[in-house]
């Protein structure tokens, strides 16, 4: 007999979802409100999105955000995949493997503010030794790659653990070379994990504020930094529209991530 949960659990779940998404829904509604001031509904309007599309500062921030996310995701996906392959397919001693796993997990559990301050101090140390280093897009890319690699490596490692070594060993028994086995056997099976890790890294970079705030320069403002600066000057409907767009893009990426990691259904 199938046990049914107490109705209180369902009510608590619904209340939690309301608390999570009601503020986001309110922001989206205000971005469609014709009124510029206040929360009174004055009619449906898309003019704030039109004004946002013609705002050169927003377009520049959006371009910086996409460049930062794309470059850091590409680099972290390659490095994270190689790291996962090295961890899962190399016969490490048990004590050393545990130590490496702990190092990989550290950026995941470290608070953003601590990680951001550490990256800033690292850049300052490099500038003191080598000179000429300025905060900007390059330092932001390095900082984002540094914390994205761990997320990619953990995602790909879980996929490698699911695949196992049986298929690869069978390919080698059939005289497949190391590179041929990697290209025609391992990587096709690993591709969903690589895509999932890349989408996760892209989402993290797209939404990041704290690390970008500490490692950015005057000409490398991203959308989260632009929103923060605009909020300090006063909330406008354009900010509501921009926040709604960022949220929708994030939701789209999360849904894509879910589809990429969903296991195939067995008939």
Counting the structural domains of the chain, the total is: 1
For the chain, what's the residue count?
Answer: 267
For the stretch 109-167, pLDDT in tens is 888 899 899 999 999 888 888 777 888 899 999 999 999 999 999 988 888 888 777 77
Query: Residue 38, class by beta-carbon neighbours within 10 Å (0-12 exposed, 13-18 middle, 19+ buried)?
Result: exposed
pTM, whole model, 2 decimals?
0.79
CB atoms within 10 A of CB 141: 21
Q: 44 in a domain, yes or no?
A: no
Return the minimum-mean-pLDDT range out of 79-83, 85-89, 256-260.
256-260
Question: How far, in whole angstroms, is CA 114 from its chain's centroid?
Answer: 18
Residue 9 lies in a domain: no
Radius of gyration in angstroms for the set of CA atoms belonging to the chain, rounded to a whole number: 23
CB 225 within 8 A of CB 212: yes
Check residue 117 and give its pLDDT.
92
Residue 17 included in any domain: no
Would 239 be classed as within a structural domain?
A: yes
Of 70, 48, 54, 35, give the one whose Cα is nearest residue 243: 48
With beta carbons less than 8 A apart as the criterion, state whether 220 and 136 touch: yes
DSSP state of 174: T
Q: Is the dihedral of CA 91, 92, 98, 102 positive or negative?
A: negative
Residue 74 falls inside a structural domain: yes
pLDDT digits (tens, 9 = 90+) for 14-40: 888 888 888 888 888 888 888 777 677
The residue segments making up the domain with residue 216 are: 55-261
CATH of the domain at 212: 1.10.3720.10
pLDDT of 215 higher than 50? yes
Give the closest residue to 159 by CA, choosing from 187, 184, 180: 187
- The pLDDT of residue 3 is 64
Rounded to whole angstroms, how far apart are CA atoms 97 and 217? 38
**pLDDT the model gives residue 214:** 92
């Amino acid at each position: 007999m199938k046990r049914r949960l107490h109705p209180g659990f369902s009510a608590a779940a619904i209340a939690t979802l309301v608390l999570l998404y009601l503020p986001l829904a309110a922001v989206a509604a205000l971005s469609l409100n014709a009124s510029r001031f206040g929360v009174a509904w004055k009619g449906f309007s898309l003019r704030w999105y039109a004004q946002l599309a013609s705002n050169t500062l927003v377009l520049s921030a959006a371009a910086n955000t996409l460049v930062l996310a794309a470059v850091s995701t590409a680099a972290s996906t390659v490095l994270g995949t190689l790291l996962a392959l090295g961890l899962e397919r190399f016969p490490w001693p048990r004590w050393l493997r545990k130590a490496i796993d702990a190092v990989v997990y550290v950026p995941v559990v470290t608070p953003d503010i601590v990680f951001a301050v550490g990256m800033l101090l690292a850049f300052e140390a490099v500038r003191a030794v080598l000179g000429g280093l300025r905060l900007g897009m390059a330092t932001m890319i390095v900082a984002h790659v540094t914390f994205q690699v761990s997320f990619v490596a953990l995602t790909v490692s879980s996929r490698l653990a699911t695949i196992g070594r049986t298929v690869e060993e069978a390919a080698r028994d059939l005289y497949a070379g190391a590179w041929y086995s990697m290209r025609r056997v391992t990587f096709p099976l690993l591709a969903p994990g690589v895509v999932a890790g890349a989408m996760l890294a892209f989402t993290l970079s797209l939404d990041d504020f704290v690390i970008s705030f500490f490692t950015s320069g005057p000409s490398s403002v991203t959308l989260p930094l632009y929103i923060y600066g605009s909020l300090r000057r006063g909330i406008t409907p354009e900010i509501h529209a921009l926040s709604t767009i960022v949220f929708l893009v994030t939701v789209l990426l999360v849904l894509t991530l879910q589809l990429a990691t969903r296991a195939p259904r067995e008939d």
